Amino acid sequence: MSLLSFSPHTNILLNTAKIGVDLCCFKTKTSRVVWEIAILGVSFLLGGALAVASGQSFAFSFPLLIAGAVFLVLSAIILIALKWPRSISSPEFLELTLPGVSSRLRSAFALDQVFPLSNKINNDAAYVLIRSKKTDLQLCFYKGHPLNDPLLKKKESAILLCTNSDRKYNDVIHRSLAVIGRIEKDCWNAIVKPDSMKFPPGSIAHGPWVNKSKETAPVSHLIFINPPTIETLIHTRKPHYKTVTFQDFNHKKAFKNIVNAYLKCFRACRENHITSLQLEFLGLNDIGSHQEEYEIWYSLCSLALLEAIHIEEQNEDKTLKQITVNHQKEFPLLSVLQKAYNEKM
C-alpha cells in the first residue's frame, strides 16, 4: 500500500479540515457596514450639535442633524431586518415529490465528494458530501451506526437524538437506542430533566455530554428533541386501526412544525458554538413506509430540512459548518441524490 494512500474515512476527515474558510465573513462584512453607517450618523449629529453650539446658522446645522438621524435610523432598520426571523416558505401539495427534492438540492448544493471514491453516486455509496453554493456549508449523508460516523469530532459538535414526553432513560426511541449505552444516566437526567417540566412534541433540551466515568464522549454536546408529530394536527376522529392520510391534517402546518423543530436545534448549536451536527430526518415515522402516500411525506420531511438550512444560512450568528443526515438502515435520500447529481442537466 502506498504511503500516500488514504482510507475513505481519512479522506473525509482531510476534506472536512478544508472547511477552514471562515463562514462568518458575510456576518463580519455586513456588521461592519451597519457599524460604519451608525458612526456616520453619530458624526453628522455631533457636527450639527457643534454647529449649533458655535453659533452657525440653522440652515447649516439643520441638514447635519437630519442626515445624522437618517443614518442612525437606517442602521437600526438594517440591524432589525438582519435579526428578524425568516419566514418559512411552505411547499404546495403538488410540489411534494422526490424530483422536487432533487431539484431543490441541485439548485442549492454542489456535489463535493462520494465515498468510496467515484465520479457518481452508486448504490453502494457509504457517504455523500455536498456543499452549499452560498455559504460553503457541508451537508453529508451517511448510512450506519451514529457513532461510526467519521465526521464526528470531540469538540464543538453535537448529536441530535429523539426522545418522548416522558424522557425516561430506559424508554428511548429511534437512533437513541443505538447511542444510549454510551450516555450515563446522570448525564441524561442533567440535560432532559425528566421530573421537572412538561416536554410536548417540538420541545428540545441540550447540554454537554459529560460522563462521570471520565470516558471521552464521541461529541461535545447532546441535543434531545421530542419530535413534532402530525397526531397533534389531526382534525378528524379516527379509530386507532385506521391509517393517517393527508386528508386528516394540514400538510403546511406539519411542514412548518418540522422546520421549526430543526431551527430550534440550530439555535441550540449557536448557543453552544457548535460547528458540526449529526441528525436524522424528523417526522418520517408519522406515516408508514408501506403507505401509498409515504413518498409524498418523505418529500415533505426532506424539504423541511432543506428549508430550515436555507433559513439558518441567512442567520448572521450561524455557527454550523457541517451537518450529517444519518439513518442506520437506509442511505438517506439515495435515489434523490442520484437523480440530482448523476443525471445530466
Of the three residues 83, 103, 122, the one that is the final residue of a domain is 83
Judge whether 127 lies within some domain. yes
> What region does 202 belong to: left with phi over 0, alpha with psi -120 to 50, or beta?
left
Average pLDDT of span 108-136: 93
Judge whether 146 lies within some domain. yes
pLDDT band at 138 (very low <50, low <70, confident <90, very high): very high
Model pLDDT for residues 280-332, shown as the tens digit of each residue: 999 988 888 888 899 999 999 999 999 999 999 999 899 999 999 999 999 99
Do 153 and 55 lie in one domain? The reply is no
CA atoms within 13 Å, Cβ hemisphere of 261: 28
Higher per-residue pLDDT: 302 or 243:
302
Judge whether 250 lies within some domain. yes
Judge whether 10 lies within some domain. no
Is a pLDDT exceeding 80 seen at residue 336? yes
At 180, phi and psi to the nearest 5?
-55, -30
Give the helix/strand (H/E) hosting 141. strand 138-143
Do 39 and 118 lie in one domain? The reply is no
Do 152 and 49 lie in one domain? The reply is no
38 with 75: CB under 8 angstroms? yes
Do 65 and 111 lie in one domain? The reply is no
Looking at residue 261, its pLDDT comes to: 96
Do 303 and 181 lie in one domain? The reply is yes
Looking at residue 319, its pLDDT comes to: 96
Looking at residue 240, its pLDDT comes to: 52
Do 48 and 124 lie in one domain? The reply is no
325 with 140: CB under 8 angstroms? yes
Question: Which stretch of 4-18, 76-90, 185-199 has the lowest confidence by average pLDDT?
Answer: 4-18
Judge whether 196 lies within some domain. yes
Residue 48, domain extent:
25-83
Do 53 and 74 lie in one domain? The reply is yes
Is a pLDDT exceeding 90 seen at residue 195? no
Looking at residue 320, its pLDDT comes to: 97
Looking at residue 81, its pLDDT comes to: 58
Q: Residue 35, Cβ neighbours under 10 Å: how many?
A: 12
* Long-range own/partner contacts, residues 282-289 (CB < 8 A, 24 or more apart): 282/162, 282/225, 282/227, 282/228, 282/258, 283/227, 283/228, 283/229, 283/230, 283/254, 283/258, 285/174, 286/229, 286/230, 286/231, 286/244, 286/254, 287/230, 287/243, 287/244, 288/243
Do 48 and 121 lie in one domain? The reply is no
Judge whether 323 lies within some domain. yes
Judge whether 100 lies within some domain. yes
Looking at residue 1, its pLDDT comes to: 36
Of the three residues 42, 59, 83, the one that is the final residue of a domain is 83
pLDDT band at 345 (very low <50, low <70, confident <90, very high): very low
Looking at residue 79, its pLDDT comes to: 65
Do 72 and 105 lie in one domain? The reply is no
**Average of per-residue pLDDT values in the chain:** 83
Do 67 and 176 lie in one domain? The reply is no
pLDDT band at 248 (very low <50, low <70, confident <90, very high): confident
* Structural domain count of the chain: 2
Q: What angle do CA 21, 313, 99 make, to 5 degrees?
A: 110
Judge whether 20 lies within some domain. no
Q: What is the CATH number of the domain that holds 164?
A: 3.40.220.10
pLDDT band at 102 (very low <50, low <70, confident <90, very high): very high
Of the three residues 62, 83, 104, the one that is the final residue of a domain is 83
Do 182 and 33 lie in one domain? The reply is no
Model pLDDT for residues 12-33, shown as the tens digit of each residue: 444 544 443 343 444 445 667 7
Do 62 and 168 lie in one domain? The reply is no
Average pLDDT of span 110-119: 92
